[in-house]
Structure 1
């Protein structure tokens, strides 16, 4: 009994060197060679089967031989043989037959492969119908190749999981098929179904994918640990804080001008309450940020200062007389100074000053 794994390894190398062709042709040629060995035939029969299979799948183009015959000092040009037509695929009520070996039952499916190449990418698709064994062989081959080579590119890193999920549709169809039955009178590209080959978990692809996913998870975990569980950079945090600050400042400056223009306490009430609302929005934004431990205390201090000022302005807006208004305005001025100081501390620690300086 031959060792199928060793045989496939040897014939994979031989087919790649002596025959070439695309992945599907090479896989089919290797399977044909191994099938011959399993039937008890010798290596010459296996080589002939591999060449014949590649010849059929490549559309009748003659395949090279190790020692081409010579005649009169010149090579004899082989006459191409017409390729066998595809097996019947559901015509006139007939059941679907495998596109490769002609076996039934078969199912329509598309099997995908994606390879990332840093600056570009390669996507391959094999369309059926395929029988159970041919479909399994192709799925294992293309899934392994995708898992092995699919991650190495900016876009490919995200396309690869989609490709793997798309192949699950084909996998379900393959698993639902019964054993392939081949009518010897039906012409097909292969004399027998492809050998499924090693299961996916006995190929390198899944383990390369596991290493890639683990590396990404470790990187994100380390980054998260360094920032107290928050993934935003200092610059991102500073920009978010500055945006919140500037939005508040625009409201404060506009409403302060409106208050200055008022000639009665009642006129001032609406712009004062708008300032209160702007301070609450500022705090909502600050509370929505994931602050690293380094900045948590400063952010909390600014939230408290904003709240204290909002309370003071709310009380100011409730004034009913000019004297009461004047008295409460002084409290707002004191809270404004504290708010400015807390804002400045957080901005300084983040390393990016507020974009809109104002008396806020």
Structure 2
């Protein structure tokens, strides 16, 4: 974001005054200084690079100038107002401006640290926010990092808003002779509109998926997996308890496993009730829930038998509900395209 034309003028004047030499030497020295600035190095490094370049071309200059260009805020005495890192203007504030770019399978995160004056800070913030809004979404992780980056820049925005108009301090030399032009407002740049399109596309995708599944986001595979886990957990309990029932010699012995099967059916229903069923599966899911309830009631009643005759009568009713439950279970499993474990008696 450094205005290279302004920076070139500044360093051309400095080289002409401090180094001299012919046009070729001066141009080479200016280029060396600008290269250091572009790489983020300070003015001292730029001045040293210019001198080294001039020396290599046969111009004799001191390698350590007694008055190298001062470093803006870094030359301010402690307790004095900060000066802008770029233009040397006051007032200025310390701040960090972030930019994030997504690259599908990798990402690039940049930070620019102050202090900056109001105009330089505004120009940099608009530039980095626009780039983030324009390029930040295109990656799995970047899609979530970009909003965080935008929020982090709010701190810099607040500091910039609190600054007054920049005033050039003649005692502070700088990388550029004047504050950066803030440029177009953020809403006059393409970034916000690219971000709007991306967010709108994501919302549209979610809405379409929701409508397509009757308000439920589980896909068929996930529905099938959840149904299978619930069914198999019940069947495991059912088979274990029925082995106990078959091994009993008295109706009292059979009471506890019958009640346990009834409780397992209620647990099965609780699990089915937590699933958001698509419209096309709701009827079959409801039928299974009703069948589970009827079977649980039948087994609870069967567990109250006190003699063999009563036990036999109630068993017939329980078996009938058992068959209906198994049929409803098979229908829903078939609709979801999943295999299920079988209950044995």
TM-score w.r.t. structure 2 length?
0.80
Deviations 1:73-117 (A, max 9, x none): xx9589899664242387522233322223333322221111111
- 1:184/1:247 Cα in 2 relative to 1: closer, same or farther (>3 Å)? same
User: 1:139 and 2:125 equivalent?
Assistant: yes
Query: Which range is displaced more, 282-291 or 250-259?
Result: 250-259
Deviations 1:162-205 (A, max 9, x none): 11111122222222222223311013223222211111000000
Structure showing greater Rg: 2
- 1:276/1:137 Cα in 2 relative to 1: closer, same or farther (>3 Å)? same
* 1:163-178 alignment runs, 5 A limit: 163-178=149-164
- Considering only aligned residues, what root-mean-square deviation do their CA atoms show, in Å? 2.8
In structure 1, the partner of 2:309 is: 323
Deviations 1:46-76 (A, max 9, x none): xxxx9887764543559xxxxxxxxxxxx95
Matched residue of 2:97: which SS?
strand
Q: 2: CA distance between counterparts of 1:295 and 1:229?
A: 12
User: 1:277 and 2:263 equivalent?
Assistant: yes
* One of 342, 346, 360 as aligned partner of 2:332: 346
Deviations 1:252-283 (A, max 9, x none): 12222222233333333322222222111111
CA contact (8 A) 2:69 2:174 kept: no
Matched residue of 1:216: which SS?
helix
CA contact (8 A) 1:56 1:84 kept: no
User: 1:241 and 2:227 equivalent?
Assistant: yes
Q: 2: CA distance between counterparts of 1:285 and 1:353?
A: 18
Q: 2: CA distance between counterparts of 1:85 and 1:129?
A: 11
CA contact (8 A) 1:87 1:101 kept: no
CA drift of 1:314 comes to 1.2
* One of 77, 85, 105 as aligned partner of 1:99: 85
In structure 1, the partner of 2:240 is: 254
Q: 1: CA distance between counterparts of 2:180 and 2:199?
A: 32
In structure 2, the partner of 1:227 is: 213
User: 1:359 and 2:336 equivalent?
Assistant: no
In structure 1, the partner of 2:148 is: 162
* One of 105, 108, 111 as aligned partner of 1:125: 111
Off by >3 Å, runs of 4+ in structure 1? 30-33, 50-62, 75-84, 88-91
User: 1:314 and 2:314 equivalent?
Assistant: no
Matched residue of 1:116: which SS?
strand
Query: Which range is displaced more, 278-287 or 321-330?
Result: 321-330
Q: 2: CA distance between counterparts of 1:254 and 1:106?
A: 77
Q: 1: CA distance between counterparts of 2:215 and 2:86?
A: 53
Q: 2: CA distance between counterparts of 1:266 and 1:94?
A: 92
Q: 1: CA distance between counterparts of 2:263 and 2:163?
A: 65
Q: 2: CA distance between counterparts of 1:106 and 1:271?
A: 79
- 1:119/1:182 Cα in 2 relative to 1: closer, same or farther (>3 Å)? same
User: 1:207 and 2:181 equivalent?
Assistant: no
